[in-house]
Structure formats: structure tokens, C-alpha cells
Amino acid sequence: MAVQRPKGTQDHLPDGSPKLSRDLQASAFLHVQDVARRVLERSGAQFIATPLFEEAELVRRGVGGSTDIVRKEMFTVYYFGDHGGYVLRPEGTAGIVRAYLQNGLRQLPAPLKLWTHGPMFRAENVQKGRLRQFHQVDYEVLGSAEPLVDAEAIWLMWEVVRELGLRGAQVRLGSIGDPADRERYNSYLRALFGPHVARLSDDSQERLTRNPMRILDSKSEGDQALIRELGVRPMLDFLGEEARAHFEAVQAYLRGWGVPFELDPAIVRGLDYYRRTAWELHHTQVGAKSALGGGGRYDGLAAQLGGPEVPGIGWAFGIERLLLALEAEGAAFPEASGPLLFVAALDEENVALAASVALGVRSSARAEFAYRALRPGNIFREAERRRARFAALLGSEEVAGGTLTLKDLRTGEQRTVLLGELQRVLHDLQREPQAQGQ
């Protein structure tokens, strides 16, 4: 049997591959990244790249010891002696905040907007839209606790999916309050679940001691049935005055900007560093677990990692899950474009010249060439297979006259072009349809 890719991973394939679904299409994958880059950089966000692996201690302290990520899903990639080990990054925020602290980025104007994209890794059960290596677009803002920053972050996430053409997405907005609010809520949950501890799953029995809010996010059907039976009050009922005012201000901004959202008091998010604003982006056509991504405020994370108090907020969405939603809606995607020009020689002695002609065009456009001599009919067929706009033929007669034969594969028109005039002619021909459409 041939070697297979690891379970829970995907190959992103070129256009034209057999049985190609949207979430495997490399051009669609790159299109999502490009739209996100355009939207986020228009807001002033700057790109940052962090390592694919980090110190395990960073993830434990940053993500939280009570999370499923730390307890079950980390990929340890290196261990030596008493060293705590390295792990493949399961999410992007902790690494970005670490880079912010380590590299003195606090000296830059605040709030500092950062964004990145790339692979993340979690050792979880594989199912539709849930992979062990997946890819995220990640946006973070450091240095401001204003609710206006929260609202802009949510607006930017909504704007990315809007520009991608996704229509069935839904923002679900909540708040998990300040640390004192969460402690009151956790005390309430311990008192509520305590008499029923034997009915909780093993994971939730452990969470009852560590972080009872995590019980509300349990994947156990038994846990969810008990939550419904007990009529658990939502976190929103326990918000303090400041957290509630912050939450109401965020909602007011979003309403003013026309961002549709619904309140979801059940949102607790999966990471321990969140405070106050928390939200998720959902789409019902990607499976039972309908979240495409989400985000929230994490004002205590920098201090938790050993730095000063730095307010922060951020979000991420999974590219593969977003592509599944777009495919379910039948969204149109631009296909990877073919070359503008395909150049081929009719004689073996002119193959090198054909290559030189293509290389010369590449300073301004994509150009490919044949690596051996071809007959005219084969040249045109090969150019069409590659989805080229123009095909150029070089035979002995053309070479003797310092010309080539250029064919427009859309119109069928052929013309003789001086080699030195090729780039100008290509430029003018590309402008012609635009001029006609004006």
C-alpha cells in the first residue's frame, strides 16, 4: 500500500485535480487568506509570524490547565531531561502575546493590531471540519481595554466573511465578565453541581474543582442533560457593573454599524484566558459543531505569561471550516489563473530561445514555455490545457525575422509580433476588453 497522509490532515490541491472539493482547493484556500489580509491590513493590522512550536509551559499557562487542549490535545514534539518540552502550537494567541512581550512591541503605538495565518495542531477525534492539523486566520489587538476595540474586532471578523460572500453566518455574542464575576459564577456552579457530582462525566468531575464553567462546554450528552435539568443560570446574570457596562457599549457599537448578532448567554469559550466580551461565528451547514471561529478579550494573559498587565482582544477562524460553509452555500471562487502566455518552439534548435522569451515576459506577467519542440496544433492544445490567454510560436522563419506568431486563444486572432515589442503588445491586448467595457 502506498504511503498515506497522516490521519486528520489534508492536502490542498491545484485546480483541475480529480474529485476536488472546495476545502481541498488550494486556490480557494489562498483566496480566503488574501481576503482576510486585505480586510485586516486596511484596518491598520500588521502581519506577524511566530514559530509552529512553543514551550509547553507557554501553552499551559496561556491556554489554561483545565482546558481540553492542554489536558488531551497537545502534540509534544521534543523532550529532554527536566525540560518541560515543546508542543506544536494549538492556537495563535499565546504565541503572539509571548512575541509581543519578548520583543518589546509594547514600545509601538497602542493599540497594536496584529494578524497572522498558518497551521495549528490538536490531537482530537477527527470528524467533518475537525482536523489534527488545521489552518487559522488570527487577529489580535494589544494595548487597549476600550469596548470600541472589541466592537471593531467583531466587525472585522464579520467583514472578512462578508467579503468572502458567506451569507449564512451568525455572530453569537456573550460576556464572561471580570475575574471576580467568574469566581462568583464558579461558586454558584460548584454549589449547584456538587450534590450531583456522581452524574457528571469524569472530565466534568475534574472541572468542578478546577474550573466549573468548563462543564457548560462539555461534549458529554449526560452533562448537557444535567445542565438542562438543573436550569443553570447563565454567566450574564453574574456580570458586575463595569463588565455589564462594557458589554452594553459593545452591543451599541455593533447595532450602530449594522452588524447582526444575537445574545448567547451560554458562551464560555474554550480557553481560560478570556474575560468580558466573548463571541462565536456559527454556520449551521458545517455539521453539529457549527462554530467557524470565535474570539474574546484576554486582559490578564500578558501578566499570566510573566509580563506586565496588557489588555488584549482577538479572534481566529478555521479556514477549512469556513471553506466547508462556503461550499455548502455554493459560493463562487476565483480559480487559479493560468499563464498569460505560453511560448513554444517548432524546432529543437529554437527551444532555448522560446524559454528566453518567456523568462523576459515574467518581469510583468506569468509566462510558461514548452521544454521541447512541438507541432503548432499541439502548442495550441497545450496552451489551452494550461488555461493560457495567448500562445506564441517560434519557428525558423520567425526567428530569422526577429518575430514570433502570437495567437489570442479567446478570439482566435493571430498576428506577427516583433520580439522586442512582445511585452508592449501583451500589455495593450490586455487593456482592450477593459476599454471596450467602459
pLDDT digits (tens, 9 = 90+) for 350-391: 999 999 999 999 988 899 999 999 999 999 999 999 999 999
Check residue 390 and give its pLDDT: 95
- Nearest-angstrom CA–CA distance, 327 and 280: 20
Looking at residue 175, the DSSP 8-state letter turns out to be E
C-beta of residue 369 within 8 angstroms of C-beta of residue 357:
yes
Q: Give me Rg for the CA atoms of the chain.
A: 28
For 13-55, write each residue's pLDDT tens digit.
887 776 556 557 788 889 999 999 999 999 999 999 999 988 8
Asked whether the predicted pLDDT for residue 95 surpasses 50, the reply is: yes
How much of the chain exceeds pLDDT 90, in percent?
53
Residue in the structure block whose three cell numbers are 472541572: 207
Distance between the two ends of the chain, CA-based, in angstroms?
58
- Strand, coil or helix: 333: coil
Asked whether the predicted pLDDT for residue 164 surpasses 50, the reply is: yes
For 115-147, write each residue's pLDDT tens digit.
999 999 988 777 777 788 899 999 999 999 999
Asked whether the predicted pLDDT for residue 208 surpasses 70, the reply is: yes
Looking at residue 132, the DSSP 8-state letter turns out to be S
Check residue 434 and give its pLDDT: 45
